Amino acid sequence: MSDSVKTLCPYCGVGCGLEVSPPASSGRATHRDSQGNPIWKVVGDKSHPSSKGMVCVKGATVTESIDKNRLKYPMMRDTLSESFQQISWDEAFNKIVERVQNIRQNRGDYNAICMYGSGQFQTEDYYIAQKLIKGCLGTNNFDANSRLCMSSAVAGYTQSLGADGPPCCYEDLELTDCAFLIGTNTAECHPIVFNRLRKHHKKNRNVKMIVVDPRCTKTAEVADLHLAINPGTDIDLLNGIAHLLMRWGEIDSLFIDECTQGFSNYAQIITDYPPEIVAQKCGIQISELEQAARYWADSRKVLSLWSMGINQSQEGTAKVRTLINLHLMTGNICKPGTGPFSLTGQPNAMGGREAGGLAHILPGYRSVKNAQHRAEVEKFWGLNPGQISEQPGRDAWSMITGLETGEVDLLWIAATNPAVSMPDLQRTKAALLKSPFTIYQDAYYPTETAAYAHLLLPAAQWGEKTGTMTNSERVVTLCPKFREPPGEAKADWEIFAEVGCRLGFDNKFSFTDPATVHTEFVQLTHQRPCDMEEISHENLASNGPMQWYDTQKAEIEIEENDSGFFSSLLKGFTKKEPLQGKRLYTDLRFHTEDGRAKFAAYHSRGLAEPPSEEYPFVLTVGRLYGHWHTQTRTGRIEKIVKMHPHPFIEIHPRDAAKLNITEGDWVEIKSRRGTAKFPAKITKAITPKTVFVPMHWGALWAEDAEANSLTHSEACPISLQPELKACAVQLVLITSVPEPSKESSHQEHLPNADLIPVSTSNHK
């Protein structure tokens, strides 16, 4: 495979290495996709440290989608009811510049301009977008779909440990003796992380796996203990475990005294969580709760994994911090095989955080609210002091409300499909319809969001541009360009840079290639917690993937490993289990002012929209193994479509019986905001009084199966992450079966129209 290219899978945050080779490279017949395009070959990259050659079905089939239904040329229309007309890039850039300058003229500043980006950007794309929007335009109105995904983890790490950044690494999956998986369906959503953990679990009988999830997922099926808690009761559970550990004296007093602050308030809070009350609130047995606490108590190395069941909540930050509390209380942090480990959703949401890709942060894990941080970035970018605003910009949802109130004049959406993935879709779509000017920069056409765009910009995607991505364990991988983009598609960063130049900032965007963009970005990480000093395109190309860690602390850990203070705190961890730069905080000092990690004292608040008499069920929304989000790629891959041919609703047999619903019956599901229809899948895998639907079917892929027509926008007040995991719904059996029937293939919905009709009345 000499002509093969090593790269990273462009799907999930596990960040598996792939080796891609041209369609006709091996002398065998060229495989073609259903549209006749030759398919590039993909295998796992055995040399990638994170995945060691493993891939899941998504990585293995990714190239089957890259030539289908691509957006190839800039397209423009004046109003949403017109058809798009192809235009040149020159016209497209002129149009953007004219709009931006008009806004500045009318409003006096650029605060009516918003960019909504994505964890599917490469770091170079993210960085240039920050420089343009936050630097040159002086507005912090850049947010990404990570707001819907990882922002509670970001807030939790930052508040508890002093900085963002998962402290663990994947090797910990093979070193732990108790894996605590909460709000994560790792088997389906982070399959290769799960493979690594599961192998270790199977091989070592003493290793325990606890799964906390209202559904008995593929992950929960193999756990030693599955706690099927009621949605939204995680804080009760975590405080309940802490209560028992405290009662049993199973806490690490030395670690608490030497390395943390705020324990007494927390200790006070957890007195309110005795097992009788907690078990009842969570809907589990007292014995199950005790068993979970027992596993924590008996394990030397507890590793927690979490994702959306924790983050997507009105108390997302509190959930994250309460989970971190347990680690601090038991000293299960800073050591191999232990720690709180968030599983990142998208392939480069981590790089986005490093590059400052949310409305309240700046590159290098800096904060827009911190005057020194702003000054450092202003100086580096050659801007006047005060040019970067001290106000956090609009988060994703407030871009939508800004359209409602007329405060947003231009919305630039790139690499995300909000007309499917945002909460409260009817409201989202109505707001998008009001937008004076929407730019939509995507790799595919059509997508649901294209229906709301005035200007479509064709983006080069994975494999068509060179850039870097960072996975959940802080490993940075170079993703080289291995083919030409279709038509006139351009890399996202090039589009942003060209707009910057045409707005008169040409001296700030005179990059010749993505390697120089990366080099500039890395300088902004210097001496920051995410210092990437040694990482460059050149080094990545010659050394392979590289992990960042705290370069300043790496030395201390080795020198002081054996001193009295450290060895007693480290409780018998010796050089046999060396502390390496692979983990953060191995010197037991955190990025807080006094170096101590902070306990948080939170009571549980439960769901933002609890079930009621009228809406008696809790709806939860999540993912299936084969599909990726809004299906722009996976909906076009035969094998995956066969695997998951249509949407469905999971209902517990007891609830189904009460409503006379039998397997395959069509059910209308209704919330305070909208309705949708699904065939019923009756299964004990779901907790009674809770129902589940997948998030993957937007308006182009099925009729009336949009999960987010039901969800609400209530968010965590700290992270501003919406509670996409739960809302109150009612179920009604549909007696006359709607056409097309549930057997209908997705092909009937496969979008091909030149103009997507804009429907304002999808849901009555």
User: Closer to ligand MGD at the Cβ: 232 or 500?
Assistant: 232
Q: Number of residues interacting with ligand SF4: please give it, by CB under 6 A.
A: 13
Total residues interacting with ligand MGD, rule: CB under 6 A:
59
Residues constituting the chain: 764
14 in contact with ligand SF4 (CB under 6 A)? yes
Question: Cβ of residue 195: shortest distance to ligand SF4, in angstroms?
Answer: 8
Return the ∠ at Cα 19 (arms to 18 and 22), rounded to 5°. 130
Nearer to ligand MGD, 596 or 623 (CB): 623
* CB 9 to ligand SF4: min, Å: 3
- Say how far apart CA 517 and CA 132 lie, in whole Å: 13
The answer to the question of residue 719 lying near ligand MGD (CB under 6 A) is no
Using CA atoms, how far apart are residues 662 and 657, in angstroms rounded to an integer?
8
Helices (H), 385-445: 396-404, 418-421, 425-434
Distances (CA, A) of 130 to 135, 381, 414, 432: 7, 11, 13, 23
Determine if 447 is a binding residue for ligand MGD (CB under 6 A).
Answer: yes
Q: Which is nearer to ligand MGD, 10 or 337 (CB)?
A: 10
And the tokens for 600?
């948080």
CA 440/CA 431 separation, integer angstroms:
15
DSSP assigned state of 571: T
Min separation Cβ 332 and Mo ion, Å: 26
Residue 15 interacts with, from ligand SF4, ligand MGD, Mo ion, none (CB under 5-8 Å by kind): ligand SF4
Q: Which is nearer to ligand SF4, 15 or 545 (CB)?
A: 15
CA atoms within 13 A on the CB side of 422: 27
- Pick from 6, 7, 12, 220: which binds ligand SF4 (CB under 6 A)? 12
Segment 84 to 143, residues that bind ligand MGD, using CB under 6 A: 118, 120
DSSP label at residue 467? E
Q: Which residue is nearest to ligand SF4 (CB)?
A: 59
Strands 546-547 and 475-479: antiparallel
Shortest distance (Å) from residue 310 CB to ligand SF4 = 19
* CA 706/CA 721 separation, integer angstroms: 20
Beta bridge mates, 225: 210
- For position 240 contacting ligand MGD by CB under 6 A, the verdict is no
- Answer whether 140's CB lies under 8 Å from 389's CB: yes
* Cα gap 416→746, rounded to integer Å: 21
Q: Which does 212 bind (CB under 5 to 8 A by kind): ligand MGD, ligand SF4, Mo ion, none?
A: ligand MGD
Provide the 8-state DSSP code for 120.
T
State yes or no: residue 56 binds ligand SF4 (CB under 6 A): yes
Binders of ligand MGD in range 677-696 (CB under 6 A): 695
Q: Take residue 288 and report the two structure tokens written for it.
A: 């199950």
Q: Is 173 in the site for ligand SF4 (CB under 6 A)?
A: no
Residue number, 217 or 317, with CB nearest to ligand SF4: 217
For the bound state, the minimum distance from the C-beta of residue 499 to ligand SF4, rounded and expressed in Å, comes to 31
Q: Check binding of 55 to ligand SF4 (CB under 6 A).
A: yes
Three-class SS string for 24-78? CCCCCCCCECCCCCECCEEEECCCCCCCCCCCCHHHHHHHHHCCCCECCCCEECC
Rounded CA-CA distance 401/214 in Å is 32
Residues 119-178 that bind Mo ion (CB under 5 A): 149
If the CB atoms of residues 45 and 498 are measured against ligand SF4, the closer one turns out to be 45
Q: Contact with ligand SF4 (CB under 6 A): which of 4, 5, 6, 15?
A: 15
Helix or strand run (H / E) with residue 438? strand 438-442
Half-sphere exposure of 88 (CA within 13 A, CB side): 3
Residues 183, 191, 345, 458: which binds Mo ion (CB under 5 A)? 345
Q: How far apart are alpha carbons 87 and 503 in whole angstroms?
A: 20
CA dist 747 → 630, 704, 731, 751 (Å): 15, 16, 28, 8
- Minimum CB separation of residue 346 from ligand MGD in Å reads 4
* Residues pairing with 60 in the sheet: none
Under rule CB under 6 A, residue 192 binds ligand SF4 = yes
Per CB under 6 A, which region of 54-62, 239-247, 400-408, 508-516 contacts ligand SF4?
54-62
- Chain positions contacting ligand SF4, by CB under 6 A: 9, 11-12, 14-16, 51, 55-56, 58-59, 191-192
Task: List contacts with ligand MGD (CB under 6 A).
Answer: 12, 118, 120, 145, 148-149, 182-185, 188-190, 212-215, 217, 231-232, 234, 307-309, 312, 345-346, 414-418, 420-421, 441-444, 447, 459, 461, 492, 620-623, 625, 627-630, 632, 695, 707-708, 711, 724-726
